[in-house]
Amino acid sequence: MPKKLLLICGSLNQTTMMHQISQSLPQYDCYFTPFYATGFLGLLQQWKLLEFSILGGNHFKSSMGYLTRNGLAIDFKGKQHIYDGVITCTDLLIQENIRGKRLILVQEGMTEPEDFFFALVKILKFPRFLANTAATGLSDAYDVFCVASQGYRNLFIRKGVKADKIVVTGIPNFDQIVLSLKSTFPQKGYVLVATSSIRETGKLDDRMQFLSQVKKLANGRKVIFKLHPNEKQDRAIREIRTLFPEEQIFTTGDINSMIANCEALITQTSSVVFYGLALGKEVHSYFDLKELEKLLPIQNNGKSASWIANIVDHIMRTPLRNLRHAGKRQRLIRQWQPLDG
């Protein structure tokens, strides 16, 4: 009987990544779940008090919609089966029912800057989700962490992630950016503004100051806005209209196609900045661009999902005593490292 894998999704980006990885694991029974919480946070999710996060709202709807449309096996919260292994795109929460299982963490995209909340998590051991993606990797609850690039490997090690758990694989959705050049978006030669859901995750964001900066950077050029799917759209549109009364605002659509045809890309904390950099666009971001160039996910012609799946297969066939032994795991990871072979 095939072994069972639970793939934990979240945002649409995370969900499509999980699907791609599963397609290279036909020898396993793969089941999917939208992101979920257990314990007290599970109650808050049930009471719909976490709709601003991947535990609800648009993220949950998009994930469920994608899984349903693609006919994937759904096991919400992983309650129907006993799983041999788990793949997830975030360790900000480690659900009670997956602890102790073979666990593979896959980087979802860009990580946020290290701020006051990150210090609370790192030094005072506050819950990781308070620092959002800045705290990615700090749980140490996984067996292997698949990351986007050598630059990110160095970043995670600096933050305190164990080097012998990290494998540079690239990440699906960011490993063949050149394909975005085949755009179906009908317009060209504009400044594209990709906003972020910073406020929706409980952090401060001076949106009006950001919009004023957009006005300066655009310098009279045509501007198109693409809102983050988890933003409070009415508020965002109202704010934009104070300075941009006529410009187009998209709440849905393929942002990659929009980036392919833009002249300049202005972002806040969105991972789509990597698309702009890889395509050689004029890019503006809350992040330092030189640092982002070091972190840029490796471009491997779309091989990341199959590389990650190969590592998953190795992990599933490796005795736990070897997998959980630091020295033996380090030797195993050298063998699994896709960039070395």
pLDDT recorded at residue 340: 43
pLDDT recorded at residue 61: 93
* 160, 309: one domain: yes
In 3D space, the residue among 66, 88, 93 whose CA is nearest the CA of residue 6 turns out to be 88
**Contact between 99 and 141 (Cβ < 8 Å):** yes
* 167, 193: one domain: no
Domain boundary among 295, 313, 328: 295
Render 52-113 in DSSP notation, one character per residue.
TSTTSHHHHHHHHHHHHHTT--B-GGG-SS--SEEEES--SS--GGGTTSEEEEE--SPPPP
* 288, 307: one domain: no
Residue 233, CA atoms < 13 Å, CB-side half-sphere? 12
Amino acid, res. 265:
L
* 46, 132: one domain: yes
* 226, 266: one domain: yes
Q: Is residue 122 part of a domain?
A: yes
* 106, 246: one domain: no
Sorted by sequence, the CB contacts under 8 Å of residue 291 that are 6+ apart come out as none
State pTM to two decimals: 0.91
pLDDT in tens, 198-234: 888 778 899 999 999 999 999 999 999 999 988 899 9
Task: Look up the CATH number of the domain holding residue 256.
Answer: 3.40.50.2000
Amino acid, res. 167:
V
Distance CA 83, CA 114 (A): 34
Render 271-335 in DSSP notation, one character per residue.
TTHHHHHHTT-EEE-SS-HHHHHHHPPP--TT-HHHHHHHHHHHHHHS-HHHHTSHHHHHHHHHH
Q: Is residue 153 part of a domain?
A: yes
Q: What is the mean pLDDT of each run of 10 residues along the chain (341 residues)?
A: 96 96 98 97 92 89 96 97 97 96 96 92 94 95 96 97 94 90 89 93 90 97 94 95 97 93 95 94 93 94 95 93 83 69 39
**Contact between 104 and 84 (Cβ < 8 Å):** no
Other residues' Cβ atoms within 10 Å of the Cβ of residue 46? 13
Task: Look up the CATH number of the domain holding residue 109.
Answer: 3.40.50
Sorted by sequence, the CB contacts under 8 Å of residue 184 that are 6+ apart come out as 254, 257
* 165, 209: one domain: no
Q: Is residue 106 part of a domain?
A: yes
* 104, 242: one domain: no
Which secondary structure element, helix H or strand E, spans residue 28, and what is its range?
Answer: none
Domain of residue 323, residue span: 4-175+299-336
pLDDT recorded at residue 341: 39
Q: Report how many domains make up the chain.
A: 2
* 313, 289: one domain: no
